[in-house]
Structure 1
Amino acid sequence: MVCVVTVQRPKRYVSVLFVFCGVWSVALSVTRYSIPEEMEEGSVVANLATDLGFDVRGLSQREVKLDIIHSKKYLEINKHTGELYILEKIDREYLCPMKLEVYAPCLLKLDVILKNPLRIFNVELEITDINDNAPHFRRDRMELDISESASPGETFSLTNAVDPDVRTNSMKTYYLSENEHFSIEIQSGSDGAKYGGLVLKKGLDREEQAVHNLILTAVDGGIPARSGTASIIVRVLDTNDNAPQFDRQIYTVNITENSPIQTLVLKLNATDLDEGSNAEIEYSFTLYTSEKTQEVFSLNPNTGEIKVKGVIDFEETKMFEMHIQAKDKGSYPLSGQCKVLLFVNDVNDNYPEITIKSFQGTIKENVAMGTVLAVISISDRDSGDNGHVDLLINEHLPFALNKSSEGYFTLVVSETLDRETVSEYDITFKVTDRGTPPLYDNETLVLQLLDVNDNAPLFPKSFYTIHVMENNAPGSLLSSVTAFDPDLHENQYLVYFIVEKEICNISISMLFSINPEDGNLYALKTFDYEREKEFLFHIEARDSGAPPLSSDVTVHIIIIDQNDNTPVIVSPWRAQGSVLEEVIPRSTDKGYLISKVIAIDADSVQNSRITYQFLQITDATLFSLDQYNGEIRTMRMFSYRDPRHHRLVIVAKDNGDPELSATVTIKLSTVEHVIKVFSETTEFPLEYDIFSDLNLYLLIGLGSVSFLLLITILVIIVLKCQKPKPAKPTPPCRNSVISQRNSTIADSTLVSSDAYWYSLFLAETRKGKVVVRQPVPKGAGYMVSSLPRSTGLTETSESTASTLQVGN
């Protein structure tokens, strides 16, 4: 579809031509306008917004740009009205100098580029000629020597007039001043130029008139017409009746462009039948040969050799025309003329050109496939295969080239992009022609990918196990739980927090805290292994993208036991700070069980293993102490030399580092007879036994027994009256010995996981007997219960004892 709009202006007009109004891809079809040259600056050519169909209100935001190809910036676009106006006067003769080729319109090629979204409109502006130049001769004075023997009808070449205007405004005809001997003959050259030849109408008589003064007028075809004049002076010479003749009137030669200097093009040959100086020939270019041709080729005046002396460029001139005359050296020289036509053969001497019309240097990594990144135009000044150009990009890139129109390509996204894999692409465009050898050029563009939040934070491990020693300081650093996010900027900034949950009705956030910036995990309280042994919760890392992405990790806190509990001696029981007194008969045998020391430790495993040692002993040969079960036995029988009173200090030490210990002091008194003795440890209490072994010292024995009985009664009374010190309250849910300690350890159950307490024991207290029972099921611990003194140890009494069981 073709649309033409003509706008009348004073003495001028503007033609608007739309060619192929449809749009194909990014580059639009060509829109052509036609204006005369020399329009005033500021003159409006057309309204591009109206003609091309885009909204004027969005021009400032869309960054409209006018790109003039291979020329100065003669025009500009008004970004407020969309009008295309003249920025600088356009001289058609300067912009499109006249060449030898057939007339072609003078076109100014423009690209109108709009962004957001990207659109390109191809505009051609045809500059039409006006008659602003008058014809002028290259020589204002022409002198001709014509022999009087010249025959009527002979033609003499004259300097032609040139007019830089074209077509109807160019050179049209010549007029010769009135005379009876000469007339003007007008000829047209291959480039349309008008040449005038002086024709002899009537024979000359030098004796009648030796000089003829003529005026030659050149007139163009403009309205109004313009003209120029030159004077012709004809001198009549004496007879030289034979003129040189060329063997051919027209020579046709093919020459390759860029031929080296001094390359022989053609050797002319002209002959003259005269003799002497009238037969000596000199070659020269006539005035019909253009100055451009004479700059490129040289003519030897003596030999007639035509050689290359300048650069031959096919893209500038495809054909040269030479007019050559051969003139003899007679007194009245005669000349002959010929025409040489040189056709230039193209070689691949121009590199292909690549022009980036538009390019987005940065895009988001999640851009849709098919998005246009750049618009590229390619060209080559050569012709044929030498001017056929192919465009390629480097391989293994997620981009593709699509041809949008002749000489235009678009670069589009062809695969999914990932900034975390490749953050920057170097895209090299390579243009290659099809000449032999081919020529190529390239240009590299750098494309950067902008990050989007498409990666969730990633922890290096899915499960963290953190060991914490009990009795830690509140606020101590436990570990650093950090994640990694390959995104950038705010998409990479991570915030850490603990996923809220409750443990034993206590919020996890009251036990632990995490630094939201670096993932450092802190303990908010001091942990006690005897109360809590492990915690299991989740930590979540969340980035700052929009929308944010997150991931979590499981954290397992394991509390490590520390030797922080001192062993407690529960048997034989004695008031704090007091000394335990025991009475044994001196007649005991070897291996007699004097007492059994039992200590418990609230710690676990190695820290709760108790060993017993004598700290002080009056006679190391008399008593032995089992380091594992705490049994004190006699190593031999008493002799009369042994003292009656012994002091034993036993220390119970745990297996921790550093080790903790407790001591008990036992004072042993030996008597001949005792009222009460203990058998070896059993689950049943021993009944009182009265020894009646009468001997010769019966009176002494009865007295001693009475005395010891009195002492025993006094000691019991004193112990009854003594008020025990209150014990510290035991924390709730603590895996330790629970005792009110108001008067005794009665009505309490002592639990320990130590295997050394597997045996049974019985110890006397002020209120009853202490019994260590068998281990509870599955090794959960051992129970120590108290019984009243008056109650016998039976199955029934065992069930009535107060018992507290705490599992490991």
Structure 2
Amino acid sequence: MVSSMRRGLQAWIRRLLLLLITFWEAGSGQLHYSILEEAKHGTFVGRIAQDLGLEVAELVPRLFRVAAKGRGDLLEVNLQNGILFVNSRIDREELCGRSAECSIHLEVIVDRPLQVFHVEVEVKDINDNPPVFPATAKTIRFHESRLLDSRFPLEGASDADIGVNALLSYKLSSSEFFFLDIQTNDELSQSLSLVLGKSLDREETAEVNLLLVATDGGKPELTGTVQILIKVLDVNDNEPTFAQSVYKVKLLENTANGTLVVKLNASDADEGSNSELVYSLSSDVSSTIQTKFKIDPSSGEIRTKGKLDYEEAKSYEIQVTATDKGTPSMSGHCKISLKLVDVNDNTPEVSITSLSLPIPENASLGTVIALITVSDRDSGTNGQVTCSLTAHVPFKLVSTFKNYYSLVLDSVLDRESESVYKVVVTARDGGSPSLWATASVSVEVADVNDNAPAFPQPEYTVFVKENNPPGCHIFTVSARDADAQENARVSYSLVERRVGERALSSYVSVHAESGKVYALQPLDHEELELLQFQVSARDAGVPPLGSNVTLQVFVLDENDNAPSLQAPWASGTGGAVNDLVPRSVGAGHVVAKVRAVDADSGYNAWLSYELQPAAGSPHSPFRVGLYTGEISTTRSLDEADASLQRLLVLVKDHGEPALTSTATVLVSLVESGQAPKASSRALVGAVGPEGALVDVNVYLIIAICAVSSLLVLTLLLYTALRCFVSPIEGACGPGKPMLVCSSAVGSYSQQRRQRVCSGEGPPKTDLMAFSPSLSQGPDSAEERQQPSESEGLRKIWDFSLQIQLFS
């Protein structure tokens, strides 16, 4: 309210002053009015008619008019009352600018009579214009490195008003960094400066907003403002910084090439190029790191380059530098502590050293054979290795120290059953999945002379034909020694003994290396049927070991002896015996008996008798027993028969080829009167011996029964024992050796050979029996009823041969 009263009083005083001036000017002959600018339309200026001494009524008749220089429409005269008033808005600043004096010059023209008056209307300034700065906002750039008290000139505001209304004062908003310094050149000229009162730091304060207020001296005061934006210009005074000085990273060692290790994001408090960073590995990093890692200069990504290996390096320290692009450039540093995580990527390694090979087969248990070292380049459980051996070997592993083992003997060795052991050591780590490796060693077992030479059989039976050539190979002995090398080198020798009056070495010899047995001289079956001796086999070990084998050499008979006639033909071959036979004898009367023996044996000694037909008498009344040699009549004699019968008896053995002898028997046929003499001779030559044969046959039957019982008992024993004898190597001679079986008695003839054995396997060769088959003759029935002496002797000889062979 007080302020409004003040303003009213001021307006009244101004009007009074204007009136006084107006009256003064009128008195001087020229009107002078004053008016405040911005007066409203119709505002009274002055009574121009009255002041000019003109009547209001004359104004129109005398053509009263006002002509203004310049803006004539600003003021107007009311012709009805002669008052000058404001016709349109008057802006002193527009009309006169900043001129101190501003007037509107009017020419008042009145015709009839013509009169010209000059009227000056002064336009008074009012405070209607606030101070105006050149711009409402101003941006000022200050380097943060500017020194204290540094100045920055400011352009002051301008006020279109004049005088006191244009007298400006300035005020700067509060700031810790700047203050306003005003230098007055004169009363209307001022120099404004911003002064730096505190050091700037763009990184702390990048912008400072100030408000500069200009206030004029008018009443009321008007103000003008300008926003001042102080932008702090960056200076490269900050080095790049990392979020961490040390980055800790863990990475698997089998990470693929190009894997991101870490992405660095350094910051620089500066801006622009001063904050543009370039990343690089520090210049003093090792060449190994440069080959393993790479960094992207712009993004700061560190990636792997190449293969990482935990066993090569467990960790890496990578120094990284971030450099800005400022001038001069600044750099920051950090360290990446990279630890590799072990992966089970290394198989265990096995090495076998200090081999004590070969190992003797008699080595004691616990003998150390080899030292085994295992290792694994991995760590932790991945590097924990356990060892094992292949199964079923006579060895074991004994741990002596961490990752050190001894291969020791765990059971008894026998080179003859296993000479080389392939021992495989398997090392397996504790990784998941686990890796394993193997190492093998061949453990050779050295031979010890612990095996004597052994023959396949303890005894061999060999058959050799008699009359062999001297030096004939009759058999080969072979002993096998399970040992090796010298311990298995066998030599053979005879076990010397006496054979009758002679040494064994005079009959046979054996080759020391090959084991071949040779007959040094021809053997004679009739002299020596069985030669039994031993051959010794001895190895070359130390001490030497040996064994013996028994050889039973049976000398097989050959038909090398012809039948030998006994008395009365023993005096010479072809001798004749004269017998007297009465003509009255009937058929079957024995007139004589031819006796012969053969030094051979078997079939070669089996004799048969044949009566050769006499020349000119194909129908002889006599015959000869095929195997008995008894000459008997075939019919009753008559007168037609010649008184002297010449009988030629052929004695033949069964050898191949057969050998023969002949006996001549002269039979004289006499009349019945001569019978006593003849019959007495016949009794002497035939009946007497037959009577003696009766007793022989009784003993023969007893012997046959006994021998048969012994044979059956022997066969049963052999069958029970299932004795096996391997085939025998053949002997010298054109034919194969005869093999004898112990389980049965076979019959052998020129047509067939029968071999009988018991049990499984090849036939046994212990016994051969020869049983001649008797053919039926004309008087075979009689011969069966009354066997002859020679037949009985032959049977006894056959069975005695069987008993001898069995024994």
Please give the TM-score of this superposition, normalised by the length of structure 2: 0.52
Does the aligned pair in 2 maintain the 1:295–1:310 contact within 8 Å?
yes
Flag the 1:413–1:597 CA change in 2: closer, same or farther, 3 A.
Answer: same
- Measured in 2, the distance between the counterparts of 1:755 and 1:263 equals 109
Q: 1:614 to 1:431 in 2, by over 3 A?
A: same
Distance change >3 Å, CA 569–CA 314, structure 1 → 2: closer
After TM superposition, list the pairs within 5 Å mapping 1:184-203 onto structure 2: none
Rounded Cα–Cα distance in structure 2 between residues aligned with 1:150 and 1:413: 92
Aligned in 2, Cα 1:400/1:619: closer, same or farther, shift over 3 Å? same
Change in Cα spacing, 1:547 to 1:280, as seen in structure 2 (3 Å) is: same
Distance 2:633 2:242 in 1: 159
Deviation, 1:455, is: 1.5
State yes or no: 1:597 paired with 2:600.
Answer: no
Larger relative helix fraction: 2
Question: Residues 509, 435 of structure 1: CA spacing in aligned structure 2 closer, same or farther, 3 A cutoff?
Answer: same
Change (3 A) 1:676 1:363: same
Secondary structure in structure 2 of the residue aligned to 1:369? coil
Contact 1:281/1:328 (8 A) holds in 2: yes
Higher strand proportion: 1
Query: Where does 1:516-665 land on structure 2 (aligned, <5 Å)?
Result: 516-573=512-569, 575-576=571-572, 577-586=574-583, 591-617=588-614, 618-627=616-625, 628-665=627-664
Q: Distance in 1 between matches of 2:146 and 2:304?
A: 36
1:585 Cα deviation after fit = 4.8
From 685, 688, 706, give the equivalent of 1:683.
688
Using a 3 Å threshold, how does the CA distance of structure 1 residues 599 and 247 change in structure 2: closer, same or farther? Answer: closer
Does structure 1 residue 380 correspond to structure 2 residue 376? yes
Match of 2:545, as an amino acid? L
Query: Within the alignment, does 1:275 sit opposite 2:271 as a pair?
Result: yes
Distance of 1:309 and 1:324 partners within structure 2: 16
**Separation (CA, whole Å) in 1 of partners of 2:618 and 2:371:** 107
CA distance in 2, matches of 1:773, 1:292: 119
Q: Deviations over 1:190-216 (max 9, x none)?
A: xxxxxxxxxxxxx9xxxxxxxxxxxxx
8 Å Cα contact 1:279/1:330 also seen in 2: yes
Question: CA offsets, 1:710-767, max 9 Å, x none?
Answer: xxxxxxxxxxxxxxxxxxxxxxxxxxxxxxxxxxxxxxxxxxx9999xxxxxxxxxxx
Deviations 1:553-604 (CA, angstroms, capped at 9, x unpaired): 2222223333333223335548535444445555555555433322233333
User: Judging changes above 3 Å, is the alpha-carbon distance between structure 1 residues 264 and 624 closer, same or farther for their aligned structure 2 residues?
Assistant: same
Aligned amino acid, residue 652 of structure 2: K
Within 1, Cα distance between the matches of 2:365 and 2:378?
36
- How many residues align? The count is 473
The one-letter code sitting in structure 2 at the alignment partner of 1:501 is: R
Give, in angstroms, the shift of residue 398 of structure 1. Answer: 1.9
Which amino acid is the alignment partner of residue 679 of structure 1?
A
- Percent identity over the alignment is 39
| TM-superposition CA deviations, 1:678-721 (whole Å, max 9, x none) | 234233899xxxxxxxxxxxxxxxxxxxxxxxxxxxxxxxxxxx
Question: How far does residue 547 in structure 1 lie from its aligned partner after superposition?
Answer: 1.0
**2:600 aligned partner, one-letter code:** D
Q: How does 1:121-520 map to 2 (within 5 A)?
A: 239-287=235-283, 289-520=285-516
Whether the aligned pair in 1 keeps the contact of 2:235 and 2:270 (CA below 8 Å) is: no
Q: Where does residue 54 of structure 1 map in the other structure?
A: none
8 Å Cα contact 2:490/2:539 also seen in 1 = yes
User: Closer, same or farther in 2 for the Cα pair 1:393/1:593, shift >3 Å?
Assistant: closer
8 Å Cα contact 1:775/1:781 also seen in 2:
no
**CA distance 1:257–1:595, shift in 2 (3 Å):** closer
Partner of residue 700, structure 2: none
Distance in 2 of aligned mates of 1:337 and 1:574 = 142
CA distance in 2, matches of 1:421, 1:395: 17
Structure 2: runs of 5+ lacking an equivalent: 1-142, 148-198, 200-233, 692-770, 775-787, 800-806
Deviation string for 1:380-434 (max 9, x for gaps)?
A: 3322122222233333222222222333222222222222222223333333322
Alpha-carbon distance in structure 1 between the residues aligned to 2:798 and 2:300: 131
* C-alpha contact 2:613 2:620 (8 A) present in aligned 1: no
Q: Secondary structure at the residue paired with 2:351? A: strand
Q: CA 1:470–1:387 in 2, change beyond 3 Å: closer, same or farther?
A: same
1:458 Cα deviation after fit:
1.4
Following TM superposition, the consecutive aligned residue runs of length 4 or more in structure 1 with deviations greater than 6 angstroms are 753-756, 771-778
Partners of 1:279 and 1:592 in 2: CA distance: 162
Alignment of 1:56-135 (within 5 A): none
**Structure 1, 284-293 or 433-442: larger mean CA deviation:** 284-293
SS class of match (2:566): strand
Q: Compute the displacement of 1:275 (Å).
A: 3.5
Give the SS at the match of 2:289.
helix
- State the distance in 1 between where 2:314 and 2:638 align: 147
Name the CA shift for 1:353/1:148 in 2 (closer, same or farther; >3 Å): farther
- Aligned in 2, Cα 1:321/1:633: closer, same or farther, shift over 3 Å? closer
How far apart, in 2, do the equivalents of 1:773 and 1:331 lie?
151
3-state SS, counterpart of residue 359 of structure 1 = coil
Q: Return the offset for 1:464.
A: 1.0
Secondary structure of the 2:688 match is coil
Quickly say closer, same or farther: Cα 1:352–1:637, change in 2 above 3 A: closer
Q: Compute the displacement of 1:543 (Å).
A: 1.2
Distance of aligned partners of 1:428 and 1:679 in 2 relative to their CA distance in 1, 3 Å threshold: closer
Secondary structure class of the residue paired with 1:676:
helix
CA apart distance, 1:332: 4.0
CA distance, structure 1, for counterparts of residue 299 and residue 546 of structure 2: 94
2:309 partner SS? coil
How large is the RMSD of aligned CA atoms in angstroms? 4.0
Q: Is the 8 A contact 2:580 2:682 kept in 1?
A: no
In structure 2, do the counterparts of structure 1 residues 150 and 488 end up closer, same or farther at CA, with 3 Å as the change threshold?
farther
Q: Residue 360 of structure 1 contacts residue 447 of structure 1 at CA under 8 Å; is this kept in 2?
A: no
Structure-2 change in CA distance of 1:270 and 1:654 (3 Å): closer
| Partner AA of 1:404 in structure 2 | T
Q: Residue 579 of structure 2 contacts residue 665 of structure 2 at CA under 8 Å; is this kept in 1?
A: yes
In structure 1, stretches of 5+ residues that fail to align are 1-146, 152-202, 204-237, 687-752, 757-770, 783-807
Query: What is the DSSP-based 3-state SS (H/G/I as helix, E as strand, rest coil) of the residue aligned with 1:683?
Result: helix
The C-alpha deviation readout for 1:345-387, integer Å capped at 9, x for no partner, is 2222333333334223433333333222222322233221222
In 2 relative to 1, CA 397–619 (structure 1 residues): closer, same or farther, beyond 3 Å? same
Tell me what 1:29 maps to.
none
2:628–2:789 Cα contact (<8 Å) kept: no
Paired position in structure 1 for 2:156: none
The amino acid across from 1:555 in the alignment is L
Q: Which amino acid aligns with 2:622?
A: S
- TM-score normalised according to structure 1 size: 0.52
Q: Which moved more, 1:449-458 or 1:625-634?
A: 625-634
Tell me: CA distance 1:434–1:652, structure 2 relative to 1, closer, same or farther (3 Å): same
Relative distance call for 1:283 and 1:472 in structure 2 (3 A) is closer
| 2:687 alignment partner, SS class | coil
CA distance in 2, matches of 1:407, 1:257: 24
